[in-house]
Amino acid sequence: MAKNLFILLLLSLIIFSGCASIMKPQELRDVSVENIALGQVIKNPEDYKGKTALWGGKIMRAVNKKEGTLIEVLQLPLDRSDRPKEVDTSGGRFLVLHRDYLDVAIYRQGREVTVVGEIQGVKTLPLGEIEYTYPFLKARKIYLWKTRPESIKMYHEYPLYHYWRPYWWGYPYWYW
């Protein structure tokens, strides 16, 4: 009886461990944020000024200024752990000002970040040959994600026909 109970407990532990929640980074836990989209801020910047938002994406560029480090981010949707997803959809770009010095060699183009910050309004800056309106955040917390491992996909040609035959057909040994 005790052995059966132990096996049942062990199996249930294994099954329910697959249902464990995904852990968020410590910097992003216990932060109360509102669900605010970039488009909402661009349309009505005054309505959202002073509110806290959680946005993430890929860094497009970072510049050190007197006020701190200014980071331009291409917004991407976030997954359950608040990491930017690898998708081809975006709500646009936004600017983040971090009051401290951040090394732009580390916070470089292509790195993924998740930002908790206070919405300051919008800024219009040149982007190529156009003027682009960026939602502007003053960062409270910035989490720089580790780079994703590079995946290499290898494609193989189908094997020749004679390898597809069952072993009892006699190849490479011919019995008839």
DSSP code string of 12-68: HHHHHHTTPPPPPPGGGTT---B---HHHHHH-HHHHTT-EEEEEEEEEEEEE-SSS
- Specify the pTM: 0.72
- Higher-confidence position of 150 and 18: 150
Nearest C-alpha neighbor of 137 from the set 47, 4, 3, 41 = 41
Confidence tier at 151 by pLDDT (50, 70, 90) = confident
The CB density around residue 62, as the number of other CB atoms within 10 Å, is 22
Query: What ranges do the domains of the chain cover?
Result: 22-144
Residue type at 106 in one-letter notation: I
CB 136 within 8 A of CB 122: yes
Mean of the pLDDT values across residues 42-47?
A: 91
pLDDT at 149: 86
Mean of the pLDDT values across residues 112-127?
A: 94
What whole-number distance in Å separates Cα of residue 118 and Cα of residue 123?
14
Mean of the pLDDT values across residues 102-116?
A: 95
Of the candidate ranges 9-18, 60-69, 111-120, 127-136, the one whose mean pLDDT is the lowest: 9-18
Mean predicted lDDT score pLDDT of the chain:
82
pLDDT at 11: 61
pLDDT at 153: 73
Residue that is written with structure tokens 């560029």 in the block: 61
Of the candidate ranges 103-112, 141-150, 155-164, the one whose mean pLDDT is the lowest: 155-164
Which regions of the chain does DSSP assign to beta strands (E)? 52-64, 69-75, 93-98, 112-127, 130-144
Fold classification of 22-144 (topology level): OB fold (Dihydrolipoamide Acetyltransferase, E2P) (2.40.50)
Mean of the pLDDT values across residues 75-83?
A: 93
Mean of the pLDDT values across residues 145-169?
A: 67
- Higher-confidence position of 150 and 102: 102
What whole-number distance in Å separates Cα of residue 105 and Cα of residue 101?
12
